[in-house]
Chain A
Amino acid sequence: MKNGFRQSMAWLHTWTGLVVGWVLFFVFVTGNLGRFDTEIDQWMKPEVIPQAVPLAQEISAAQQRLTQRGAGAERWTIYPATNRDTPYLRITWDTEVKPGQALKRGEEFIDPSTAAPLDTRATGGGQLLYKMHYALAYMPRSVSNWIIGICSMFMLVAIVSGVITHKKIFTDFFTFRPNKGQRSWLDLHAVLAVLTLPFFFMITYTGLLFFLSTLVPGIVGANYGFGEKNRQQFNDELAAREYRLERAETQVPLVSLNQITAEAERRWGEGQVRSVEIHYPGDQHAQAIVTRQIISPLRSTEELVFNATNGELITEQPATTAAPRTFYETVQGLHESLFAGWWLRWLYFFSGLAGVAIIGSGLILWIVKRRPKQLKQAEGPDFGHRLVEGLNVGTIAGLHTAIAAYFLANRLLPVDLPARNEWEVHVMFIVWLIALLHPVVRPINRAWIEQLWVASAAFLLLPFVNAITTGRDLFQSLQQGDWVFAGFDLVAIATAILFAIAAVKLQQREQQQINAPVKTKVNRVAQEANA
């Protein structure tokens, strides 16, 4: 398209990256926080401290509650608090709304001692923040699936064309030239991208694979037919699940599920039960499928399938089946990181931060590269240029302020406020909207500095507001070894410091540009702009 292959790819990289950059930034920031989703859950439900309870008690409580709540459902699932991903006993039930359509899901966290919902403030918690990275907010999944799917496809093209553009991949691995304007932003962008390329590529490609049924339904459709039921048939065939039954349409009561999980623990060992899924509860053909803890990237685990009306074992499913499925389940497991221990989880987090920085620096680079020419224009920068600048400030700084506001809302909104959990989200998006509009009324440099300070202040507030509202201050948390609360406070403070440093740097540069005589090209351009 351009004069050479590489030039064409540079063009493609620039524009595919720019068009979806802000959505991807949102996806990366919220998805990265999702590495600590259940820790954030615990922080946002300070009233309830996870307690170790015997599995039998959890299963009984769950069955009792599901019998009330999930009557007539197609499927129940019980997640006992037996691993990091489940700090509180959780139940879900899926009910058919219309034949052939996706099931409607109900969900509750349960107190195992009372079999009643967990007595805590209404909050979306870390789960909701994490869900935003693939479901966004204020829209049905049918819409968000397309938005995220298309943006991810753009990102994949941006990654591949970026790598092609990059001819000195080895040299640039060791190249960083700070304080050189555009050169430094490009170095930062490239160094981080080269360093985390395997991670970045894996996250993007596997992210796309989550949307197979939205983006490329035709591949399954051409072979099995379209729709939920046919897709299920494909999945069962691939996973070699031959035990599935249709409803018998005869009512037979469930066996005590305790009996089933006890048998699973006898076979696998204590603490190995990850979840219990019951198909057609109350029907004669009810089956209970017990899954095992995830200990490797392969997220499909061994399963024990029981007859849920008499507790007899029907079959044992292996974790690995057909090679393409095992491959799929392994790479999807790499994306979800459910297997990751603390060290690896933090490595995931920092890799994700690098991803955030790659996208952010790419967006800034677009501006920095075009600014000199834009500032020379008699009528000032174009609308498009100012739009990108404004979106950059409002997203790179503003989104973080919005997330801090989400956390602050969790602590400060009245506990009895109706639809309180929804208001937490409203607060987040109102703050983000203000941050996006703020650059419209302020000069761009001032907008950056002001928003960076606001973000810094918002994060610095978090440990204080938390200490005042819960009494669990940082020093107490550290003394008691409460790493969830201490970790949250420390990360908030570190974030505040980072934003403060960025603000100070920008202020210094602004001062230099005003005071210094014309020496560099950048200063000259800035002065021309001031004149």
Chain B
Amino acid sequence: MATNKKSSEEDVARYRWEVAGRCLIAVFGGYLFTIALSIFLTQVLPIAKSSAVMTANLLSFAIYTIAIIWVFSVKEFRQLWWGLTGSAIFFAFILLLV
């Protein structure tokens, strides 16, 4: 999988595309997931609305970090599609909710 000496040029090219893909999924997919989960929190936390929004604000960068770490820690690239699709559905659900 990684660039060992025996890997052919094709493997290197695929590795590079995968890295680029992971970067895009981490940045944009991770962001989508972060916003969706944060807004979800503002809706379900049993505290005053402004407090819930501030709590979600405070947590958002931690959520984003965890999402990014996850994207780069998953072994098989294909698994990421599940995360991305799930995030998109979650985001759409949140848009309907608010």
Do A and B actually bind?
yes
Q: Which residues of A contact B (CB under 8 A)?
A: 1-3, 5, 8-9, 11-12, 153, 156-157, 160-161, 164, 205, 208-209, 212, 215-216, 218-220, 222-224, 234, 237-238, 322-325, 327-328
Q: Identify the B interface with A (CB < 8 A).
A: 1-2, 18-19, 22, 34-35, 38-39, 42, 48-51, 53-58, 60-62, 64-65, 68-69, 72-75, 94, 98
- Closest-by-CB residue of B relative to A327 is B58
Chain A residues whose CB sits within 8 angstroms of the CB of B42 once the complex forms: 219, 222-223
B-chain residues with CB within 8 Å of residue A223 when the two chains form the complex: 39, 42, 49, 53, 98
Q: Is the CB of A324 within 8 A of B55?
A: yes
State the Cβ distance, A310 to closest chain B Cβ, in Å: 31
**Complex contact A322–B50 (CB within 8 A):** yes
Considering the chains assembled together, what is the distance between the CA atoms of A156 and B60 in angstroms?
A: 12
Instruction: Using known A-B contacts A153-B61, A156-B65, A216-B38, determine if residue A3 contacts B2 with beta carbons closer than 8 Å.
Output: yes
B65 lies within 8 A of A160 (CB): yes
A156 near B61 with CB under 8 A, answer yes
Contact of A209 among B38, B51, B58 (CB under 8 A): B58
Q: Does B53 contact A234, Cβ atoms closer than 8 Å?
A: yes
- 7 A–B pairs (Cβ distance < 8 Å), ordered by A: A1-B19, A11-B72, A160-B65, A212-B60, A219-B35, A237-B50, A322-B54
**CA A215 – CA B58 in complex, angstroms?**
12
Distance between Cα atoms of A209 and B2 in the complex (Å): 36
| Residue from the list A8, A205, A237 in contact with B72, Cβ < 8 A | A8
A205: which B residues are within 8 A, CB to CB? 61-62
The listed residue (B22, B35, B53, B57) touching A1 by CB distance below 8 A is B22
B50, B56, B72, B98: most-surrounded residue (chain A CB, <10 A): B50
Of B2, B19, B69, which is in contact with the most chain A CB atoms at under 10 Å from its CB?
B69
Task: List 16 extra interface pairs beyond A215-B61, A219-B42, A324-B58, CB under 8 A.
Answer: A1-B18, A1-B22, A9-B69, A153-B61, A157-B65, A157-B68, A161-B72, A164-B69, A209-B58, A209-B61, A216-B38, A223-B49, A223-B53, A223-B98, A322-B51, A328-B54
Q: Which residue of A lies closest to B97 (CB)?
A: A222
| Contact between B65 and A9, CB atoms less than 8 A apart | no
Least CB distance from A233 to B in Å reads 9
Residues in A whose Cβ lies below 8 Å from that of B56: 219
Query: In the complex, which of the residues B1, B38, B51, B73 contacts A5, with contact meaning CB atoms closer than 8 Å?
Result: B73
Q: A1 → chain B, closest Cβ, in Å?
A: 5
Provide the residues of chain B in CB contact with A209, threshold 8 Å. 57-58, 61
Do B69 and A325 touch (CB < 8 A)?
Answer: no
A220 touches B69 (CB 8 A): no
Contact of B73 among A8, A215, A222, A327 (CB under 8 A): A8
Q: How far is the CB of A8 from chain B (nearest CB, A)?
A: 5
A238 contacts B50, C-beta separation under 8 Å: yes
> What 10 A-B pairs have minimum CB-CB distances, sorted nearest first?
A324-B54, A238-B50, A237-B50, A322-B51, A222-B39, A324-B55, A222-B98, A219-B38, A218-B35, A12-B72
Complex contacts, A324 vs chain B, CB 8 Å = 51, 54-55, 58
A156's closest neighbor in chain B, by CB?
B65
By beta carbon, the residue of chain A nearest B49 is A223
State the Cβ distance, B77 to closest chain A Cβ, in Å: 8
Residues of A within 8 A of B53 (CB): 219-220, 223-224, 234, 238
Q: For residue A153, which residues in chain B have a CB less than 8 angstroms away from its CB?
A: 61, 64-65
> Which of B19, B61, B73 contacts A208 (CB under 8 A)?
B61
What is the bound-complex CA distance between A237 and B54, given in angstroms? Answer: 11
Tell me how far the C-beta of B94 lies from the nearest C-beta in chain A, rounded to whole angstroms.
8
A12 & B69 in contact (Cβ 8 Å cutoff): yes
A1 to B18, CA, bound (A): 9
CA distance A156 to B19 in the complex (A): 20
Write out the residue numbers on chain A whose beta carbons fall within 8 Å of the beta carbon of B18. Answer: 1
Q: Once bound together, how far apart are the Cα atoms of A220 and B49, in whole Å?
A: 10
- Give which listed residue, A212, A215, A216, A323, contacts B51 with CB less than 8 A: A323
- What CA separation (Å) do A164 and B73 show in the bound complex? 11
Of chain A, the residue at the smallest CB distance from B72 is A12
- Expressed in whole angstroms, the Cα–Cα distance for A23 and B22 within the complex equals 23
Q: In the complex, A216→B63 CA distance in Å?
A: 12
Residues of B within 8 A of A218 (CB): 35, 38-39
In the complex, what residues of B have CB within 8 A of residue A164's CB?
Answer: 69
* Residues in chain A near residue B58, CB distance under 8 A: 209, 324, 327-328
B61 and A234 contacting across the interface, CB-CB below 8 Å: no
**CB neighbours of B98 from chain A (8 A):** 222-223
Cβ distance A239 to chain B, nearest Cβ, rounded Å: 9
Chain B: minimal CB distance from A331 (Å): 8
How distant is A346 from chain B, measured CB to nearest CB, in Å?
A: 29
Q: Kindly list chain A residues whose C-beta atoms are within 8 Å of the C-beta of B65.
A: 153, 156-157, 160
Query: Looking across the interface, which residue of chain B has its beta carbon closest to that of A217?
Result: B35
A13 to B, closest residue via Cβ: B72
Complex CA gap A238/B57 in Å reads: 13
Residues of B within 8 A of A8 (CB): 72-73
CA distance A518 to B60 in the complex (A): 54
- Nearest neighbor of A325 in chain B, beta-carbon distance: B54
Q: Cβ of B48: which chain A residues have Cβ within 8 Å of it? A: 322
